[in-house]
Chain A
Amino acid sequence: MARNAEVTRNIDTLTVVLYLGCVLMGWLNVYAAVYSPEEQTHLFDMSTNAGKQLLWIGTSVLLIICVLVIDHKFYDTFAFVFYLFMIGMLLLVMVFGSNINGSRSWFKFGGFSLQPAEFAKVATSLALAKYLDQPGINLTKQKDLLWVGGIIGLPALLIILSNETGSTLVFSSFVIMLYREGLPGWIPLTGITLAVLLILALIVPFKFLFAGIAVLCIVVILLLPRYNRNVRNMVGIGLIGVAMMVTATGVDFFVNKVLQPHQRNRIKVLIDPNVDPLGVGWNVTQAKIAIGSGRLDGKGFLEGTQTKFDFVPEQSTDFIFCTIGEEHGFIGSMVVIMLFMALLSRIVILAEKQRSKFARVYGYCVAGIIFFHVMVNIGMTIGLMPVIGIPLPFFSYGGSSLWSFTILLFIFLKLDSRRTNSLFS
C-alpha cells in the first residue's frame, strides 16, 4: 500500500480525471456504435468491440502502473534505446507483419493485433526530448535542424513505406513542439500556407485565387508599420505573392496533367465528397448526416440510426465521433471538444512548468500529437478535413491506439510528478 501511495504521489489529478473521462465516454460510445437493437448485446460481451475495449482499458491501467513504477530517469536514459528499438520493430513489421486493409503494419498475436507505428510516436517524442535536452542546441542552426528532421523523418519514412499515410502525417505535429523550442516562425507558417494553398488551388477558380492573393498582399503592406513600409519590404511581399500563385498553378498542373484520372479523383474527393458520392465521398456524406441529425441533444444513448445500421463506416474506430454527434447531439459534441481543449491546455501549462528541458519538450510533443489526432479526426467527420484514417485519442476502439496514448500521456505525468517531488527532496 505504501508503495502504491508512493507511485501515485504528485500525479496531476486533473489530467487523470480528464483522461478517465475520455476513456469511459469512448468505451460507452464504442458500445453504442456496435450495439444492435435486435441482438441487444451486453456492455461486457467479450465478442463485441465494446467488451474488447474494456479489456484494453483494463490492460491500460496495468500499463499506467508500470509506467509510474519505473523511475523517471529511466525514460531519459534509455530514450535513444527505445527509439532504436522502435525503428527495429518498424523494419521487422515490414517483413513479418500481417496484411490488414492493404498495409503491412500489424503484428498478430492470436486474436489481437498490435501496430508498432502507434508506439513509434512515443519513442520519437522521447528521442526528440533527449536530443533537444543537450546544451547548446539551437533550432535556428541548420545542423541541429537536420538532426531533428532525421529523428522525425526516419520512423515517418518507414511508416509511409508500410502504407500508413495517416500515421505518417501525425509526425508533422512535432512542429508545434519545435516552434516552442525556437524554430523560426516562418517555417510552420510556410507549411500551413502551402497546405492551405494546395486545398484552395483545387477548389477555387484561378482568377479568384489570384485576386485573393493580390488583395492579401496589399492588406499586409497596408498593415505594415509606416516605418517598415519601404520598397524592399513591399517587393518582398510581392515576390511571396507571386510565389504563392506559381505554387498554386503548379499544384493544379500536377493534379490535372500529371496524375492519372483515378488518382486525380481520389484527391478531388478529399475536397468535395460529391465527386464520388458512393465511393470515398460516401463516408464523409454519411458521417455528416449522422452528426447533423443529432440536433441539439441527440437521439439518445443507443438510439442512433445512422451509426447503428452501418451507414457510417468504421463507426467504432475512426468515425466514433459520429456516434457521439448523433446520439448526444451538439451538447455531447461540445463536451468532447471541451474535454480535449481542457486536456491540451493542461498539458501545455504543465509542460511550461517543467524545470528540465527534457520534460518540457516531451510535454509539448504529447500535446502536439493529441492535438493533431483530434483536429484531423473530428475535422474529417464534420467535413472540414480530408478523410485520413487516424483514431480519436482515448475514444476510438483499438488496443494499440489506447495503449500508445496512455503510455504517451502517463510518461509525461510521471516526469511531471518529479518536478514537484524535487522541490521537497
Chain B
Amino acid sequence: MLENRKFIIIGVFCLVGLLYAARLFYLQILDDSYALESSSNSIKRVIEVPYRGQIYDRSGKLMVYNTPVYDLYVTPKRVKIPDTLAFCRMMDITLPEFDSIMNLAKGYSAVKPSVFLRQLSKEDYARIQDALVDYRGFEPVMSSMRTYPAHTMANALGYVSEISKKRLETQETPYYRQGDYVGHNGLEEAYEVDLRGRRGIKYVMQNVRGVDKGSFKNGEFDTAAVAGKNLYTGIDIDVQRYADSLMLNKVGAVIALDPSTGEIITSVSAPTYDPNLLSSRFFSKNYRKLISNPYKPLINRPVMASYRPGSTFKLIQALIAQQQGSLFTSTYYSHAGSPMRCHCRGGNNLRGAVQNSCNPYFYQVFRKYIYHNGNPNTFKASALGLQEWHDHVIKFGIGEKLGVDLPSELRGNLPTVGFYDKAYRGEFRWKFSNIYSLSIGEGELLISPLKLANLAATIANRGWYITPHYVKGIGNMGEGIPEKYKEKHYTDIDPQYYLPVIEGMRMAVAAGTVKKDADINGIDLCGKTGTSQNAKFGHAHDHSIFIGFAPMNNPKIAIAVFVENAGWGGVAAASVAALVAERYLKRKTEATKLNDWLLKQNYMPPLSMLPQPRTSASTPKKPADTATKKVLPKDSLRRPKPMLTLARGNEKLRIKNEE
C-alpha cells in the first residue's frame, strides 16, 4: 500500500514544477512590464549637449563664445563635510541655500549625482579644487557658459539660461527638457535652432549605483551630437562700442544700417548692461537687479521703444506729397495761416523747409495733401485723404512689424481712418483740424528707432529698403541668410522726388537745425532732426532725435539716434549720429571737440521722473539732476570698458550716477 505513495510524491514534484512553469510563463512571456523596467533600470539615456554656435561681428571678430566651466555634482550618500559653515563660505552660498540644494539632491537620489552648483569658472574651480579633497561626495563635470568678450549689445544678443516652465510646456516639438539651456530674447532666441545644434543621445549601461558600464549594444542606437552653427552678424564691434561710450549717461537708442544691404551695423540700447551678467551662475540675482532697475536696462530700445518721430517724419510728408502732386520743389509757404509756432524765419521752399524744419510749412503740406481729393465735405475729404496718406506711409514700413530678426519687435502705431473713427465715436466726426499734429510727426504716431533708421536707409537708397537684420551668415559668412533679408521693398515714390528732400537734409546738417560741430568734415552727412515732445516734464525734457545717412551720394551708413530728455534734436542726437557715422566711414574719430563735449553730457532723467516700484529694498540713489552734469575723466574715450566690465558677482550697471 505504502508503495503507491510514490505516485503522490512524484505527483507533488510535478505539480510544483508545473506551477513554476506557469508562473515563469506569466513573468517572461505574458507580462512585458518587466522588460521595460529592466531597461529603465540599467540602460540610461545620456544626453550630449553640443557646443552652442559662436557669434561674430561683420569683420569676423568674436562677440560671443563658450567658456568651459565646471558644474559641481553631489552624491548625497557619499557626502562628508567636516565643517559645513566653512564649506558654504568657500562655495559662496548661505547655509539655507546649502540645505535646500542638498534636500533637492537627496529627493532625487541618495546614490546618484545631482547638480550642486552650476557654472563654476575655471578660477573658482581652481580655488576650491584643493579644498574639495577634504569634502567627499562632490564631483566636477565640464560644461560651458556663454561669454561676451566685447561686453556690449546685451539686449540685441539676448542671453542663455535654463528654459522657463512656460516655454517648456508650450514648445511645439518636444525637444527641450527640464534644466536645458535655451536662448532668451535677442539673437540667442531668434537663431536658437541654428545656434543650439542637435543634441546627441547615448545609451549607456549603468549598474545599481549609477556607475557607467559601457555603451549599450556598442552604440547601435546612439546619435552623435551636432555642434551649433556659428552666427555672423553685420555688427561692427568697434563702432558698436564707440556708440556705447557716446551713450553713457544717456537714455535712448542708436541704430545704424548699411542701406545697401539692410545689415545692422550698430544697435545700442542705453542704458545697457554687461551681457556676461546674465550668463554667470549668479543669473537670478543679477536678473532681479536688472529688472527692478528704474532705467529699465532690459528693454531693447531700438525695437521695443515707441516714440513719436517728431520732425523727422516731415521727410515722409515731403515725399508722399510730391508723389501726390500737391507739393513741388518750388512750393512756398509762409508762417501765415498755421496754428503752429516756428523758430525759423518763415518763407521757405521745400528744401528750406526741410533744412529749417519749418512746422507751418508742413502743416500746409499735410493740409493740402489731405484735401487734395477735392471732396466738398471736409469730413469725408479728411477720411479719404488720411486713407491715401496711410496707404503710402505704410510702404515705408511704418505701422507694422518690419521683420527684424529679433523676437521682441513692436508694431508701433500708424493711425488709420478707423483709429480716429473709434476715437471720435463715429464716421466723419473728425477732420483735418483734429489730426494736423500728424503733419510734424506728433499726435498718435508711434515709431521705433529701428523704423526711423530704415526710413533713413530708404531715403539714402532713393526709394527702397531691405528689411533691417542682424544676420550676415549662418554657419559661414554670407551663407544661410533668409531670403526675406535679400528682397528689396520699394516705396511708391518716384526716385526724383527724393532729391530735393536729400538736398534739404544735407543743408539741415550743414547750415540748418543741426549743431554746428556735428557737420563733420568729409563725411557729407545728410539728416533730419526731431524733437519729440515730452511736455509732461516741460520742454527741457523733450526727446532728441536725429535720422540721417552719409555720405550724401552712394551712402554707406544710415542711422537713427534717440536721446531721451536731451532737448533739441540738432544737439545731442545729431552729435551722436555724426560721430558714429564718422567712426564707421573713417575708422577713426577726428571731431575730437564734438566727441569730448558729448562725453561730458549727462542726460539721465532724474529718478523722481521715473515710475518707482512700490517699495524698494535699497534706498534709491540720489537723483542725478540734469543740471549737475557729471564730468567724466578725459581718457574715458579710450576705454569705455571700465564702465562696462563687470566682475562676476559684482554687478555694476552701466548706469552709475555716483561713484
Contact = CB atoms under 8 A, between A and B. Distances in A.
A179 B9 contact: yes
B20 A337 contact: yes
B41 A382 contact: no
Given A38-B214, A180-B5, A310-B209, A305 B38 contact: yes
Contact of A384 (B19, B205, B208): B19
Interface string A269-311: 0000000000000000010111111111000000001101111
B34 A289 contact: yes
A311 B41 contact: yes
B213 A309 contact: yes
A91 B213 CA distance: 45
B207 A291 contact: no
Contact of A292 (B21, B28, B207): B28
B330 interface: no
A309 B210 CA distance: 9
B176 interface: no
Interface stretch (B10-18, B440-448, B615-623): B10-18
Contacts of B21: 334, 337
B626 interface: no
B38 to A, nearest CB: 3
Interface in B14-56: 14, 16-17, 19-21, 23-25, 27-29, 31-35, 37-39, 41-43
A358 interface: no
A292 B42 contact: no
Q: What is the predominant secondary structure among interface residues of chain B facing chain A?
A: helix
B35 A306 contact: no
A288 B34 CA distance: 7
A314 interface: no
Contacts of B14: 341, 345
A325 interface: yes
A345 B2 contact: no
Interface string A336-354: 0110110011001000100
B443 to A, nearest CB: 72
Interface in A169-184: 176, 179-182
B534 interface: no
Interface in B391-445: none
Given A310-B207, A325-B28, A384 B20 contact: yes
A288 to B, nearest CB: 6
B165 to A, nearest CB: 30
Nearest to A139: B2
Contacts of A311: 41-42, 207-208
Given A310-B208, A344-B13, A382 B23 contact: yes
A345 B14 CA distance: 9
B220 interface: no
Given A181-B2, A305-B41, A337-B17, A348 B9 contact: yes
Contacts of A290: 38
Contact of B29 (A309, A330, A338, A375): A330
Contacts of A296: 28-29
A275 to B, nearest CB: 18
A399 interface: no
A382 B214 contact: no
A187 B461 CA distance: 110
Contacts of B19: 384
Contact of B42 (A306, A330, A383, A384): A306
B658 interface: no
Contacts of A352: 3, 6
Contact of B35 (A286, A293, A379): A293
B306 interface: no
B343 to A, nearest CB: 84
A295 B28 contact: yes
Contacts of B33: 292
B42 A333 contact: no
B28 A294 contact: yes
B326 interface: no
B611 to A, nearest CB: 55
A22 to B, nearest CB: 15
B35 A375 contact: no
Contacts of A292: 27-28, 31, 33-35, 37-38
A37 interface: yes
A109 B374 CA distance: 120
Nearest to B25: A330
B214 A37 contact: yes
Interface string A248-259: 000000000000
Given A180-B9, A341-B13, A293 B209 contact: no
Contact of B41 (A176, A289, A325, A333): A289
Contacts of A371: 13, 16
Contacts of A383: 23
Contacts of A378: 20
Given A289-B34, A325-B24, A180 B2 contact: yes
A74 B209 CA distance: 53
A116 interface: no
A180 B12 CA distance: 13
Contacts of B209: 310
A263 B196 CA distance: 56
Interface in A2-45: 36-38
B206 interface: yes
Given A295-B35, A341-B13, A348-B6, A288 B41 contact: no
A329 B2 CA distance: 40
B10 A288 contact: no
A179 B5 contact: yes
A291 B29 CA distance: 10
Contacts of B206: 309
A330 B35 contact: no
B17 A341 contact: yes
Contacts of B37: 289, 292-293
A380 B117 CA distance: 44
Contact of A38 (B9, B12, B213): B213
Contacts of A341: 13-14, 17
Given A291-B27, A333-B24, A306 B38 contact: yes
A37 B24 contact: no
B2 A289 contact: no
Interface in A343-391: 344-345, 348, 352, 364, 367, 371, 375, 378-379, 382-384
A150 B8 CA distance: 26
A345 B35 contact: no
B6 A295 contact: no
B533 to A, nearest CB: 72
A279 B437 CA distance: 81
Nearest to B211: A309
A182 B24 CA distance: 35
A377 B499 CA distance: 99
Nearest to A192: B12
Contacts of B20: 337, 378-379, 382, 384
Contact of A309 (B8, B34, B205): B205
Nearest to A181: B2
A340 B13 CA distance: 10
Nearest to B31: A292
Nearest to B212: A38
Interface of B: 2-3, 5-6, 8-10, 12-14, 16-17, 19-21, 23-25, 27-29, 31-35, 37-39, 41-43, 205-209, 213-214
Given A305-B39, A345-B10, A382-B23, 5 more contacts: A292-B27, A292-B37, A305-B41, A337-B17, A338-B17
Interface of A: 36-38, 176, 179-182, 286, 288-296, 305-306, 308-311, 325-326, 329-330, 333-334, 337-338, 340-341, 344-345, 348, 352, 364, 367, 371, 375, 378-379, 382-384
11 contacts: A38-B214, A176-B9, A179-B5, A180-B9, A286-B41, A288-B34, A292-B28, A295-B35, A309-B205, A337-B24, A378-B20
Q: What are the 9 A-B residue pairs with the smallest beta carbon separation, nearest first?
A: A292-B34, A293-B38, A309-B207, A305-B42, A330-B28, A293-B35, A292-B27, A310-B208, A341-B17
